[in-house]
Amino acid sequence: MAGVTDLVAEAAALDAADPLAHKRNEFDLAADVAYFDGNSLGAPPKHVAERVAAVVREQWGGRLIRSWSEGWWEAPERVGERIAPLVGAAPGQVVVADSTSVNLFKALVAATRLTPGRDEILVDADTFPTDGYIADEVARLTGRTVRRVVAEDLPDEVSERTAVALINHVDYITGRAHDMAALTAALHRAGALALWDLCHSVGALPVELDATGVDLAVGCTYKFLNGGPGAPAFLYVATKWLDRFDQPLAGWAGDRDPFAMRGAYEAHAGIARGRAGTPDMLSLLALDAALDVWDGVDRGTLREKGLALGEFFFRCADELLDDAEVATPRGADRGHQISVLDHDAAETMAALIDRGVIGDFRPPNVLRFGLAPLYTTYGEVLRAVTTLRDLRR
């Protein structure tokens, strides 16, 4: 078995050979902190603060209301085009607007309108709670029923009654990644639509929405995309559905001519129909700036490092933690987080944070360590495990 000294040398060698190591310098991270919560709130790229200050000073302050016609109004679509390559989407299918919950509501209602006569919504049984809440309310408003099923069982559970299935690409508790291509194909064979929640996969896994035939998708931008707290979410609508995407929040920003001020709503012809109200420009432009860190990043390299960080975490845990219970799959069917079971998870994570290892926990007994390939190092992974070992002694 390897000792700590061997693991230190191994971590140093892996960090030295890391093709993404230079990216860490683009983030504002304290040298004495090992940050493992990018799966909840991504670290800020260094240049974002200056860019936002310039927006406040020059665009809001200098140009005032003129900025709406000088690039602000089109920003939700423009920033959506920057996210599109990260989710495998061709142009014209992604818009940044509102929150994940709001976009889920839009997408679920639109899905029921695209599949008349089908009265059931399937929901991933282990879904993030807000997804289930929204699905329940959509069902109540549209006269459908919700049935919760294990994601892997979807091929056997979908039927001619199913309008749409809502699935989390990566489970937020265990970090398990579901097979997007296989599950989407199974839903389509039954005539149902596939709606994927990408909150824990965008900026980590190489998502391929177009190639896998996904109908609708939503995702947040404040986790692995580093958009900042409360950054607006995004909505994907496959081209084949755009002209029939009939979402329920008929706000002026989604109108075909929002400044005409007509008495009746007419949906925009393109992805802008996914918008509802006035965009939050400061948060949106902070996200726009944050996305600069993705320029030149190969998604395959990103995935390779994310998996390698996880493998090194497993190795360290196996060597140093006698009683380690890891909930995350050890194969490639995982996202970029490692979940360790701990009977005093809240207290243990608080102690880890006091020692400069910042992750999070989920009740009742899960310690979560997010692995953000753009800035997480192998040395930090070893630090997290050794600190956890010391706390358990």
β-pairing, 162-168 vs 120-124, is parallel
Alpha-carbon gap, residue 230 to 40, rounded angstroms: 11
Q: Beta strands 162-168 and 234-237: pairing type?
A: unpaired
Tokens, residue 61? 């302050």
Average pLDDT per run of 10 along the chain, which is 393 residues long? 86 98 97 97 98 98 98 98 98 98 98 98 96 98 98 98 98 97 98 98 96 98 98 98 97 95 94 97 98 96 98 97 93 97 96 98 97 98 97 88
Tokens of 158: 């979908």
In Å, the largest CA–CA distance within the chain is 74
- C-alpha distances in Å from residue 7, one per residue of 127, 152, 373, 379: 36, 36, 19, 9
DSSP state of 248: S
DSSP secondary-structure letter at 136? H
Q: H/E/C letters for each residue in 106-133? A: HHHHHHHHHCCCCCEEEEECCCCHHHHH
Determine the pLDDT at residue 299.
Answer: 95
Cα 94–chain centre separation? 14
List C-alpha distances in Å: 294 to 86, 205, 224, 235, 324: 9, 14, 11, 19, 34
The pLDDT score that the predictor gives to residue 191 is: 98
Give the chain's end-to-end CA distance (angstroms, integer): 19
Q: Phi/psi of residue 154, each to 5°?
A: -55, -40
Is the backbone of residue 175 left (phi > 0), alpha (psi -120 to 50) or beta? left
Residues involved in catalysis: 128, 197, 222-223, 368
Residue 335's pLDDT is 97
H or E element that contains 219: strand 216-219
Residue 3 has a pLDDT of 78
Size of the chain in residues: 393
Structure tokens at 24: 């860490």
- Rounded CA-CA distance 351/367 in Å is 12
pLDDT for the residue numbered 2: 65
| CB-CB contact of 384 with 356 (8 Å) | no
